[in-house]
Amino acid sequence: MFNLNDGKWGRSDSPAPAPSDGSAAPPPPASAPPPAPAPAPTPAPPPASGQGGGNSGGPNQGPPDLDELWRDFNRKLGGLFGGNKQAPRGGEPNWNRHNQNNNSGGNGGGGGNYQPDMKSAGIGAGLIVVIATLIWLGTGFFIVQEGQQAVITRFGALNRTVDAGFNWRAPYPFERHETVSFTQVRSVEVGRNNVGAATGIKESSMLTKDENIVDVRFTIQYNLKSSSQFLFENRGPDEAVVKAAESAVREVVGRFNLDDILGRNSEVLQQDVLRSVQQQMDRLQTGISVQNVNIQNVQAPEQVQAAFDDALKAGQDRDRLKNEGQAYANNVIPSARGTASRLKEESEGYKARVIAQADGDAQRFRAVYNEYAKAPQVTRDRMYLDTMQQIYSNTTKILVDSRQGNNLLYLPLDKIMQMSNSSSEIAVLPGANAAQAAPNTVAPAATPAAPTNARTSRERDGR
């Protein structure tokens, strides 16, 4: 293999043989034996007709020489990239002689010594440089998707951040960009079952305020709020979140006793852990925004889990019974208060009715007494008649007229007694109610009697 631009065309650096034109050969080294006499030069055969002018002689041209085409392509390629190579020191290269021999056909030959056009070579080289530069500059264009942000670094240092859209930066190696997603929700799990080599306990084990151990497992969900801080302010974001979450949950659990942790509402623990983790993330400037904390399990160690389950169940039963009692009290107390209020209102009404009835009876008695003082006999007869009328209006009456004859009348006494008994039973019921109400009726009326009697006695004493 040899280079196309090699002026020697693959020939070695050994001294060339003596030329056939009779020119002197270079002297041999002093230590070398004298060279043998050179053979007589052989005259070159005359060129064939049509080929003596470098393939451009007569009209009867043969097929093109492949060597000549290859040499022509090599000359044009060498001229495009800077012209012919200079001959090395020590003499003219053999390929120039070969070209001179092949192009010895005069002006009608293959062109003699080829001299490339330097202007064309410069234009071609400049065009190639411009195209390569445009391609290199085009590598700086990039697209940022919606919900993402690109961080551009210049020589490895933070330069700027760009939002979603079509953007450009200086090509490599001057600037580089890295795209991060803001809308992507990342999740890490805290409190695994791995046993620590130094402590011999699980990573999920936490120490409470009363020096008990509780297993807490939860998941942290977060996204980004600063892409530059996320890329340059922390080496491992997931590891930083896990460490901050473990520190936060140990801080929160250490403030409560074991019973409080097991019976505490999980939402309160989640809010406390989220607030503590976010404070640590902001203090470390990690560019992370904690979105949610999902507590998956809070339980006692496996060795005492059964006992804690029984105690927790008993506490739940206590709370259930307490709630049921409170619900019963809430139902009974308003009903009792309503009944008491109703009875109080009824007693007030009964009091007012009895007092009014007593006042009415007293006024009627005074009116009757005034009339009785004016006409005692008439008043007594009238009162007797009214009383008998009231009595006879509610009884069965039998009239017997024995003055008209001597016949003896037999009355159906059994039926009369039966009717009398039935009517008496009917009358007993309202009579019993009246008897029960009688003490209540008489008692209020009898109360003001003492002052009246006392006033009467004082009037008599005054006389």
In a domain? residue 169: yes
Element holding 181 (H helix, E strand): strand 175-181
In a domain? residue 331: no
In a domain? residue 339: no
247 and 149 in one domain?
A: no
In a domain? residue 212: yes
What integer pLDDT is reported at residue 285 of this predicted model? 81
Cis status, amide bond into 171, omega within 30 of 0: no
149 and 128 in one domain?
A: no
What integer pLDDT is reported at residue 128 of this predicted model? 87
What integer pLDDT is reported at residue 117 of this predicted model? 60
Q: Among the three residues 156, 181, 206, which one is the final residue of a domain in this structure?
A: 181
In a domain? residue 235: yes
What integer pLDDT is reported at residue 58 of this predicted model? 45
Which two structure tokens, joined as six digits, stand for 100? 């001179």
In a domain? residue 43: no
Nearest to 309 by CA among 294, 298, 319: 298
What integer pLDDT is reported at residue 154 of this predicted model? 84
Residue 158 pairs in a beta bridge with 153
- Specify the pTM: 0.41
If one counts the domains in the chain, the total is 3
User: pLDDT tens track of the chain, all 463 residues?
Assistant: 445 555 555 555 555 454 444 444 455 444 444 555 555 545 544 444 444 444 444 445 555 677 787 777 777 766 655 544 444 444 444 444 444 444 444 444 444 454 556 677 777 788 888 899 899 888 888 888 887 778 888 887 777 888 888 888 888 888 888 888 777 888 888 877 666 555 666 777 888 888 888 888 888 888 888 777 777 777 777 788 888 888 888 888 888 887 777 766 677 788 888 888 888 888 888 888 888 888 887 877 777 878 878 887 888 899 999 999 999 999 999 999 999 999 999 999 999 999 999 999 999 888 888 888 888 888 888 889 988 888 888 777 666 666 665 555 556 666 777 777 776 666 554 444 444 444 444 334 334 444 444 444 444 444 4
What integer pLDDT is reported at residue 3 of this predicted model? 54
Q: Among the three residues 271, 300, 329, which one is the final residue of a domain in this structure?
A: 300
221 and 278 in one domain?
A: yes
Residue 147: give the domain boundaries: 141-181
In a domain? residue 420: no
148 and 74 in one domain?
A: no
Nearest to 441 by CA among 324, 362, 379, 383: 362
What integer pLDDT is reported at residue 461 of this predicted model? 46
CATH of the domain at 247: 3.30.479.30
266 and 191 in one domain?
A: yes
125 and 2 in one domain?
A: yes
240 and 251 in one domain?
A: yes
In a domain? residue 341: no
254 and 219 in one domain?
A: yes
216 and 245 in one domain?
A: yes
130 and 2 in one domain?
A: yes
